[in-house]
Amino acid sequence: MTGKRLLCALALAAAALTGPLRAADAAQPGALSIAAAANLVYALDALDSEYQKTAPDVKVTTATGASGNLVAQIRNGAPFDVFLSADLDFPRALVAAGHADGKSLTTFAVGRLVIWTARGDVDVSDIAAAVRSPLVRRLAIANVASAPYGRAAKQAMEHLGIWADAQPKLIVGENISQTAQFIETGNADAGFVALSLVLSPKLKDKGRWAEVPRGLYGALEQGAVITEHGAHNPAAEGYLEFLKSAAAREVFEANGYGLPAAP
């Protein structure tokens, strides 16, 4: 995590202890505050770098977490200008509650789900067999209520008829980054994570993975929306336009995402 993202995360942690942040507290000219789903953690530096080429005078701060948890923070007054979700449902919920601008809702990438293990003796090429394997005593997924990738993992296992087999083994991460950490550290023998994470420089040479067929889970269309707090920040609208650019699409593709139709 870069320093600016760590500072933003610490500010949010403090807010959780002292009460919701007021929107006016963080309103600064030339500043842009972004809440991003945890699956994007390894793509954010490259995105920030490309964005700064188009808006060098805008200072960007980013916090990551489970999409549902970020929605709760925004509803409680956390001063984010733009929300990057792992699905479309959470930003639509913000719009419905009056906390985001529905006209700004933009699909910027399509997530891909994999089963991954850091163990050399676990074969994940057959997903059902891997979940049922006695070698896999602990299976990691993200929280199905707050993390779209966790929901997708559950859908895939239900389609394969292995959800009942999986439940006694489950270790649940607060978000998809924590889920990957469980697997990387050996606290889980295998699990379901975002392709973007296992392709990252930190994890790409660790273990083995297999992509979950896309027909087994609902499309992980990732949506961006301008929040109520960002409605009067011109940088917010500019950032959403940037997400449609060729440079941003190249970053997403390089990080293992599918792409929506070009605007």
Looking at residue 2, its pLDDT comes to 47
Looking at residue 24, its pLDDT comes to 35
Give the number of other Cβ atoms within 10 Å of residue 234's Cβ: 13
Q: Which two tokens mark 233?
A: 């920040």
Give the number of other Cβ atoms within 10 Å of residue 133's Cβ: 20
What residue spans define the domains of the chain? 3-110+219-254, 112-216
What is the residue-level pLDDT of the chain in tens, covering all 263 positions? 444 443 344 344 433 332 333 333 444 558 999 999 999 999 999 999 999 999 999 999 999 999 999 999 999 999 999 999 999 999 999 999 999 999 999 999 999 999 999 999 999 999 999 999 999 999 999 999 999 999 999 999 999 999 999 999 999 999 999 999 999 999 999 999 999 999 999 999 999 999 999 999 999 999 999 999 999 999 999 999 999 999 999 999 999 999 998 76
Residue owning tokens 């805008």? 58
Looking at residue 28, its pLDDT comes to 55
**pTM of the shown model:** 0.86
* CATH topology agreement for domains 3-110+219-254 and 112-216: yes
Residue pair 238/179 in contact by the 8 Å Cβ criterion: no
Mode of pairing for the β-strands spanning 208-211 and 59-65: unpaired
Residue pair 83/71 in contact by the 8 Å Cβ criterion: yes
The CATH number of domain 3-110+219-254 is 3.10.129.10 = no
Distance CA 216, CA 198 (A): 20
**Helix (H, G, I), strand (E, B), or coil: what is residue 61?**
strand
The partner residues of 224 in beta bridges, in order of sequence, read 84, 106
Contacts (Cβ under 8 Å, ≥6 apart) of 217: 113, 151, 152, 153, 155, 156, 159
Looking at residue 29, its pLDDT comes to 59
The CATH number of domain 112-216 is 3.30.450.80 = no
Looking at residue 263, its pLDDT comes to 62
Q: Which two tokens mark 28?
A: 């600064």
